[in-house]
Amino acid sequence: MTKGPRVLIAKAGLDGHDRGAKYVAQILRDAGYEVIYTGIRRTPEEIVATAVQEDVRAIGLSILSGAHNVLFQRIMDLLGEQRAADILVIAGGTIPDGDVPHLRKLGVAHVFTPGTPGSEIVETFGRLLSTGTPAP
């Protein structure tokens, strides 16, 4: 049985809306990924520590609370501190289009906004993880 890449799907902060995260976790599993899912209300510290221990290729972070700018900054800072900046960070949630360039500048590899079809999510993950570079 061929092995799929290991990824982490996480939710940070006080946002408890996990349907989207669980959906993405399942479609990635169905696409052959090994998905570590850590539930709701995690701190950025817990998420990055988990990502390092589990040696994941990417963190998929779901944020529907509006706190994305703060939380992604914190995640990128922590990854840098732990010398794990090669772990890709992928965002999903209710993120306004206007905020996407800022997140990309922080180093977030891709931002999925509401309405993105599951097939596009799987395809994008596949592309990002095979090249290891953020999408243009």
Partner 1 sequence: MTPMTSTLAELVMVAGRPGPDRTRAAAKLMTRLEDSPELLPEILRATHGLAEPRLILGVTGSPGCGKSTLVDSLLCEVRRLHPESAIGVVAVDPSSPFSGGALLGDRVRMMRHATDPRVFVRSLASRGRLGGLSIGTRGVVRVFALLGCELVIIETVGVGQSEIEVVRVADVIAVVLAPGFGDTVQMLKSGVMECGDVYVVNKSDQSGADHLVGRLLSMLAHASGSMDGAPPTPPTLAAPPTPPKVHSTSAVTGEGVGKLLASLDQYVAENADKITERRRHRERDAVQDLLVGEIRARAANALRTNSRLATAVDDVLSGGGGRGVNDVASRVLSVLADATPPPARNTPDVGRP
Positions that interact with partner 1 (CB under 8 A): 1-4, 6, 25-26, 28-39, 42-43, 45-46, 49-50, 52-55, 82-86
Q: How many residues does the chain have?
A: 136
Nearer to partner 1, 54 or 99 (CB): 54
Nearer to partner 1, 1 or 115 (CB): 1
Q: Least distance from C-beta 86 to partner 1, angstroms?
A: 7
Q: Least distance from C-beta 119 to partner 1, angstroms?
A: 15
What residue ranges in the chain does DSSP mark as E strands?
6-11, 34-37, 58-63, 88-93, 110-112
Determine the distance from the C-alpha atom of residue 40 to the mean position of all C-alpha atoms in its chain, rounded to a whole number: 14
Both tokens of 2, joined, read: 């061929």
